[in-house]
Each structure stands twice: as C-alpha cells, then as structure tokens.
Structure 1
Amino acid sequence: MKHNEFQSGCTDNRWFIGYVFSNLAAGLTTPLIPLFIVFYLKSNVEFVGIVSAISSLASVPALIMWGNLSDKVKRRKIFIIIGFMGSFLSLLMVLFVHNMPSYISMLIMFQILAMASVPVSTLLILENSEQSAWPKVMGKFNSYSAVGTVIGLGVGVVILTLFSGIGDILMPYLYVIAAWFYLIAGVISIIVLKEPKQEIKREKIGYLFALHVIERVRYFPTHLVHIPGKENKIKIPGHLKLYLITTLILMMGFQLFFIPYPVFVIKKMNASENDIYIMYLLNSLFSAATFIPAGKYINYIGSNRMLSISTSIRVILFLSMGILSFFVFDTVGYLLFFILMYGIFGGIWSFIGISEVTSISNMATSTIRGKVIGYYNSLNGVGQILGAGLSGFIAYDISYSFDFILAAIIVLAGLMIIVYSKPPDIQYSQKKTVRIQS
C-alpha cells in the first residue's frame, strides 16, 4: 500500500477479516434458537418465542451501555476484543446447558458481551479513513460481513449433511464451533487492529447512518453509528414520530410471523435440522442478492413508495401462507415450497429495510438525523421483542395459521398508517449529504 493511499483514507483493513469470522459465527448460530429448543431441549414453539424475546431484550440496553462507555473512555479496540472474546467464552457455556433456564442464561450473557463490538466498529472505520473514502470502505466492510454470514450458514449445512441423523446431538457443538470462530476473530483483532489517530464524536456525524439488522430470530445489529440519548435535545416532529412508531408495528408483525415459522416447518412437514439451515441460507442469499437492486429501485421510485409496495407484497404472502397452512401435509413438495418462501422473504426484506432507513434519513433534518436513527434502532428492537414474545403463545395456544394471519393484519395496519399519513417521498439521490448504509 502506498503512503499517499493511506493518507487519503485507504487504511489497513486487515482487521475486517476478524469480522468475517465473527459474522461466520453469527451465521452459524442464527438458526440455533428454534433448533436447540425443539430438537435438543425437546420443547415447543411457546419457548422459542419466549427465549427469542428475552435474547432480543438483552441486546438493546447492552448496545446503549457499550456505546456510551466506549465514548467515555475514548477507546475502540478494547470493545471489539471484549465483544469477540466475550462471545467465545459465553457460547462455551452451552456445554453446561441442560435445561431452559441455563440456556436462557447463556444467551443473555452472549448478547450482553457480543454487543460490545457493535457501536465501535463503524466509528473505527470512519476514524481510520478520510471522509471521501467512507462509502467505499464501509461498502467493503459490509461485503465482508455478508460473506461471513453466508459462509457460516453454509458451514452449518455441511456439518449437518456430513453427520445426518444425529443433528439433535450436534446442536451444542455447533455453538462450540461458533465460539472458536469468535476466538479467531478476537485473536486477529488483537494482532492487527490499531487504535485510530483521530476521534469522531457521534453527535458530529448526524448526517451518517450505518445499520445492519438481521431480521430473523433476534435483534442483532452488526454495526451502527447512532445510539439513543447521545444526540441533541431538539424535538422530533410529530410526523416523524408517527413513522418511527409505524416501523415498530411493522417489525412486530414481521417477527410474529418469522419466529414460529421454523418450528411450523419442523412440526408440520417433518423438516430436519439441515432443512432449517438451508432455509436460513436461502434467506441470506436472497437478501444479499437483492440489496444492490433494492437501492437502485428505491432511488428511482422513492423510498416510501417502495416501502408500501414491498410491505404490501408481504401482507399478501403472509395471508396466503396463513390460509395455506390449514391444508399443509407432510410432503416433500410442501417442504420445498416453504423453504423457498423463506428465501423470498429475505429478498423482500432488503427493499423494506433500506426503504425505512432512507425515508427516515430524508425526513429528518441534519441536526436530528442521528438522534432519529438511534431511536429507529431501538424501536426495531422493541418491535422484535413484542412480536417474538407474543408469537410463541399465539402459535402454541391457538394455531400457526392464526399467528400468520394476525401477523398479516398487524403489518397491514402499519401499511395503512404509512398510506394515510403520506410522508414525504424524497429520492435519496437528491440529498447532498453523505450516507453509509449496510
């Protein structure tokens, strides 16, 4: 690397490899909550919802705590190491898990420690780069993260394929393998990661956003900039508050559908552990494949219009799946269909996620944009907690079909609020400020 390239912002990015391994571990563990509860602990969808909600609940205050602490001590590297090494140690606790309380304790510890690396990763990149290089460097970082997640899910598929027939016994060891990947990520960070020579304060970069939320089992962002309570005291306009509440309603509806979905496929179509991993892998692949096209189409037709279209498609599909679930039989054809649909839902999420953040950024002025994005992060978490917590009870005590149809109704309610409130639909290409988006 040439010296002038380093000066212009193309800093040493070898530490990104650490995030490849951490995302590999995250991908490997993403399907494990429903699988571990159903196959290893021999429990039901009710506890899948409860555990998912508790796991998500632990991550939200942890994000705020670690973000505030990292800003106070003005260090970045130590928090990334805490996140990776803490994930390694907490996942090894699975070797002592034999019941639901011990499993929940492990997940809470994991969420609290893993979140340490999230609020500092984006700032570390920005502080090691010139502003002109931020979009390019963040794009590279996002690509590394996405590749790691897909590889992790692929590793799970390979392991379960090689050891077909004993998948339920393998569940704890998949967590152990993921733990070692986190250890590798931590060692790489210790060796190659350096503290930045400049400090950027979050409140000074309100025009930036960076967000990557896995819309599956738990609220688990991999990197972000803004944290609630860290921005200015200017009040958020009423129409923007309504939009933020709407995103909470949408996420609640989404999670009401997705949390029981893997258990539904297992119980109704006799899906194996490997089938569920393939289902999650397709979801990630579809999401990655549609990310760039989503940005282009949103730029062309406007973010709120795209959000309305993509959300409408989900409402129709949720209703269809709810009705179809009344007539599902244990056949290969149904199993393949429901696995494929889960992949398609991942592709639709790219359009919804990018539309929401783009709309919020466009509607907020530069003085409150960081504050608003920070609240959006937290409200997404609240939506996931509510949706996850309710989903297990509804699916178990009433039916999966009712749960899916109720999810469609809730998402439709959020969509109607958007249509009724008619938020401004500014194409983000018209804005002149720099944005970073995962």
Structure 2
Amino acid sequence: MSIYRKFKEGLSKNVLFLGIVSGLTDISSEMLYPVIPVFLTAILKANMEVVGLIEGIAEATASIFKIWGGYLSDKYRKRKPFVVCGYSLSAISKPLMALASSWYFVLFVRFMDRLGKGIRTSPRDALIAASSDNKHWGKAFGFHRAFDTLGAAIGPLAALLLFHFLGESESSYRYIFLIAFIPAVLSIFILRYVKDITLAENVKTQNNVSKKVPLSKEFKIFTVLYFIFSIGNSSDAFLILKTKSLGFSMTEVMLVYFTYNIIYAIISTPAGMIADRIGKIKTFIIGLFIFSAVYFGFGINHSRSVVWLLFALYAFYAALNEGIYKAVISHLTTDENRGAAMGVFQGISGIAVFVASFLAGILWNRVSDTAPFIFGSATAFISAVLIFVWSKWKRIEV
C-alpha cells in the first residue's frame, strides 16, 4: 500500500484524465501513423520526397501553432479551451483520410490533424505542470507520456488486427481511417472531467490580461542546443520505411512498432521518477546518446533481427527524452510564461523536424537510405555533448 501511495503522490485527477485523453487520441493517431507512409507509396504511388514533404509540413504546422497556442493560453489565462479545440480538430481529421485519392489531400488532412496538435499541446503541458507540484514534474509528465504511449502501442495493434481480417487492399486502408475516428471521439468526451486552472492574477493590464514575463536566458540556450538535435530528428516514418525495406511485411512492421510503443509506455513513468531523483538534465542527455546510437544502428544495419533491438532501444530514448524535456522547461520558466515557453520550444524544434524530414527524403533518394540516419546520429551526439558542457559550465541543476 505504501508503494502505491508513493507512486500516486503528485499525480492529480487532471494528470490522470489528460493521460486518458492522450491515450485515446494516440490509439486513433497511431492506428494511422505507420499506415499512412505505406498508403502514400503503395496505393497513391507517391515517392519518398513527397513522404518527407508531407511529414515535414505536418510537423511544422504543429510546431508553429504550438507557439501560438501557448502564447494565447498565457495571455488569456485559460488552458482548457485550447485543449478542447485542438483535440476536436484532430478527431475530425481522422475519417477525412478515407476520402484521399491523391497525396495533396493527404497533405491537407495531415495539416488539419497537426493543426489540432499544435493548438492543444502547449496549453495541455502547462496545465499538467499547474496540476502538479514542481518536485513531481518528472513523474507527472512521465505518467502522462505513459498513457500517451500506451495508446500509441494499442493503435498499431488495432490496425494490425484490422489488416488481418480485412486484408491489405486499398479498401482496408480506408476502413481503418474511418474506424480510427471512434477513440478520437471518446477522448473529447473525457475532456469534460478536466478542470481548468487559471493563472494567478499577480499583475494585470487594463484589459485584464497578464503582463508578459520574458523567457530566461537558460531556457533560450537550452532551446538552441536542442535545435541542433532536432535538425537530424526526422519523422519516424523513415524508420518505418527503412524497416519495410529490409523485407518486413506490413504485419511485421506493425508488430515492431507495437513492441517499441509498449516498451516506451512501460518505462515512461519510471523514467520520470528517475529523472526527479538523479536530475532531469542528466537523464535527458543519456536519452540523446541512446538516440545517436540507435540512428547509427539503423544507418548501418541490414539484419532483420537487429531491427527489433534497435526499436527497443529507441523506446528508452523516447522515455528519457520526450517527457523529460517538458519537466526541464517547467523548471526554466515561471507560471506566467510557461505556456508560451512550451510553445516556443516545441515550435522551434518542430520547425527543425520539418527541415529534418524534408532533408531525410532528399538524402534517401539522392544519396542512400543510410544517409538520413548517419546525419541524425551525428546531430544527436553533438547536441548531447553541448548540453552536457553547458549544464556543467552554468551549473544548471534541474
């Protein structure tokens, strides 16, 4: 019982419900994420540069609107309206994919989906931080990420089962796009149980809007150093297509992706708890070094069996990075500018991912299918070293 109480400590109802919402949304999204690249290349006959362009524009859209969503949620001291709007847009986009007859329409639908993600992400992350005390931020974001990733594990498995019963025909892809709408709608229903937490009314302008608080120098440096990593962190669609190129069937690709997500889900909360104990910056740097090793492995590997190991290690990178950076940012910001900071950070890094994905498509087509991964490995290694040096030089202890 004491272990349960210790685990539960610092986890509010808001964190729980937002975790469930993210889990359901990711069931919906991840039913489609590993399917869309294959749908584009096998059904719509798009080339790899188009795949890179679509994923790049989609992620850039999310990134730009993360800045906007975070800024406005700080300005008007409201988080939940932006969260609801963002999840709703993403839900509506799911069944529209079934109507796609060209890659242009896929681009439009992916734009709508990522627009929703952009609007909701920064306000949601700020709401999670506001719903938890700062000594448990690592655990809170790790817990949320665990639900998020559990949904990401269930999604491909659901798609796999649907392919098993429907076969791998064009119509089966379109049925899966329609079915993905169900968990997305359920997530909107759960949002009714999330309570908004308004920002403390310390300083006001005449319009009853909070005064802008500048972002810290430490936050800006961390963002720049992470940007270096991000320009090599291309869309996971390239990992999926690399796996497919090694002779994996669609069913096997889904199983590999499921394994990655289930490992990620299991270790996300413990990773957050470890980060709270040993330091979030240290944990984050370890994650970047793992990413560098994994991408280098994908670049040189030609063995089907090694792919399983690489995806398992990739899950450790994700658990040690994707929830932890939000906890780091929470420590480098204040209540008054945290939403904007989340937006700026995720926006800038996401724009870098657009560049990374587009560049990866070009490198794949014009150099080799090894080049995108070697490049990503190098940028991750350089970023990890620079963040380590900066944190020691400036004695950043978070």
Fold shared by both chains (TM-score > 0.5): yes
Q: Which position in structure 2 is the counterpart of 1:220?
A: none
CA drift at 1:373: 3.9
Q: Aligned partners of 1:141 and 1:354: how far apart in 2?
A: 8
Query: Do the aligned partners of residues 52 and 310 (structure 1) sit closer, same or farther apart at CA in structure 2, a change above 3 Å counting?
Result: same
> Does the 8 Å CA contact 1:286/1:344 hold for their aligned counterparts?
no
Please say if 1:246 is aligned against 2:225: yes
Amino acid in structure 2 at the alignment position of 1:279: V
Query: Do the aligned partners of residues 250 and 71 (structure 1) sit closer, same or farther apart at CA in structure 2, a change above 3 Å counting?
Result: closer
Q: Which position in structure 2 is the counterpart of 1:400?
A: 369
> Does the 8 Å CA contact 2:153/2:260 hold for their aligned counterparts?
no
> Does the 8 Å CA contact 2:234/2:356 hold for their aligned counterparts?
yes
> Does the 8 Å CA contact 1:283/1:347 hold for their aligned counterparts?
no
> Does the 8 Å CA contact 2:30/2:156 hold for their aligned counterparts?
yes
Amino acid in structure 2 at the alignment position of 1:200: T
CA drift at 1:41: 1.5
Q: Which position in structure 2 is the counterpart of 1:387?
A: 356
Q: Aligned partners of 1:423 and 1:188: how far apart in 2?
A: 45
Q: Which position in structure 2 is the counterpart of 1:375?
A: 344
The Cα offsets for residues 270-326 of structure 1, whole Å up to 9 and x where unpaired, read as 2222222222212212222222342344345444444444333333343343233xx
User: 1:42 is paired with a residue of what secondary structure?
Assistant: coil
Q: Aligned partners of 1:361 and 1:77: how far apart in 2?
A: 18
Q: Which position in structure 2 is the counterpart of 1:27?
A: 30
> Does the 8 Å CA contact 1:55/1:108 hold for their aligned counterparts?
yes
Superposition TM-score, scaled by structure 2 size:
0.78
1:293-304 counterparts in 2 under 5 A? 293-304=270-281
Q: Which position in structure 2 is the counterpart of 1:211?
A: none
Q: Extract unaligned runs of 5+ from structure 1.
A: 1-8, 205-229, 329-333, 429-438
1:30-429 counterparts in 2 under 5 A? 30-67=33-70, 79-121=82-124, 143-164=146-167, 166=168, 168-187=170-189, 189=191, 193=192, 196=195, 199-201=197-199, 232-234=212-214, 236-237=216-217, 240-255=219-234, 258-267=236-245, 269-324=246-301, 328=302, 334-362=303-331, 372-421=341-390, 422-424=392-394, 428=398
Query: Do the aligned partners of residues 107 and 67 (structure 1) sit closer, same or farther apart at CA in structure 2, a change above 3 Å counting?
Result: same
The Cα offsets for residues 245-286 of structure 1, whole Å up to 9 and x where unpaired, read as 111111222227x4422212222x222222222222122122
Query: Do the aligned partners of residues 379 and 174 (structure 1) sit closer, same or farther apart at CA in structure 2, a change above 3 Å counting?
Result: same
Query: Do the aligned partners of residues 120 and 44 (structure 1) sit closer, same or farther apart at CA in structure 2, a change above 3 Å counting?
Result: same
The Cα offsets for residues 207-249 of structure 1, whole Å up to 9 and x where unpaired, read as xxxxxxxxxxxxxxxxxxxxxxx98343532x54332111111
User: 1:399 is paired with a residue of what secondary structure?
Assistant: coil
> Does the 8 Å CA contact 1:46/1:393 hold for their aligned counterparts?
yes
Aligned residues: 378
Query: Do the aligned partners of residues 426 and 290 (structure 1) sit closer, same or farther apart at CA in structure 2, a change above 3 Å counting?
Result: farther
Higher relative contact order (CA 8 A, sep 6+): 2
Query: Do the aligned partners of residues 405 and 18 (structure 1) sit closer, same or farther apart at CA in structure 2, a change above 3 Å counting?
Result: closer
The Cα offsets for residues 381-434 of structure 1, whole Å up to 9 and x where unpaired, read as 122112111110111111011222222222222233234434545554xxxxxx
The Cα offsets for residues 173-220 of structure 1, whole Å up to 9 and x where unpaired, read as 22211123223333555xxx2685x7512897xxxxxxxxxxxxxxxx
Q: Aligned partners of 1:120 and 1:163: how far apart in 2?
A: 39
Query: Do the aligned partners of residues 93 and 202 (structure 1) sit closer, same or farther apart at CA in structure 2, a change above 3 Å counting?
Result: farther
> Does the 8 Å CA contact 1:303/1:425 hold for their aligned counterparts?
no
The Cα offsets for residues 323-345 of structure 1, whole Å up to 9 and x where unpaired, read as 33xxx3xxxxx223214312321
Q: Which shifted more, 20-29 or 65-74?
A: 65-74
Q: Aligned partners of 1:231 and 1:69: how far apart in 2?
A: 12
> Does the 8 Å CA contact 1:280/1:342 hold for their aligned counterparts?
yes
Q: Extract unaligned runs of 5+ from structure 2.
A: 1-11, 203-209
Q: Aligned partners of 1:298 and 1:188: how far apart in 2?
A: 29
Q: Which shifted more, 371-380 or 10-19?
A: 10-19
User: What RMSD, in angstroms, separates the aligned Cα atoms of the two structures?
Assistant: 3.8
Identity %: 18
Query: Do the aligned partners of residues 298 and 270 (structure 1) sit closer, same or farther apart at CA in structure 2, a change above 3 Å counting?
Result: same
Query: Do the aligned partners of residues 57 and 170 (structure 1) sit closer, same or farther apart at CA in structure 2, a change above 3 Å counting?
Result: same
CA drift at 1:19: 4.5
> Does the 8 Å CA contact 2:141/2:326 hold for their aligned counterparts?
no
Q: Aligned partners of 2:264 and 2:366: how far apart in 1?
A: 32
Superposition TM-score, scaled by structure 1 size:
0.72
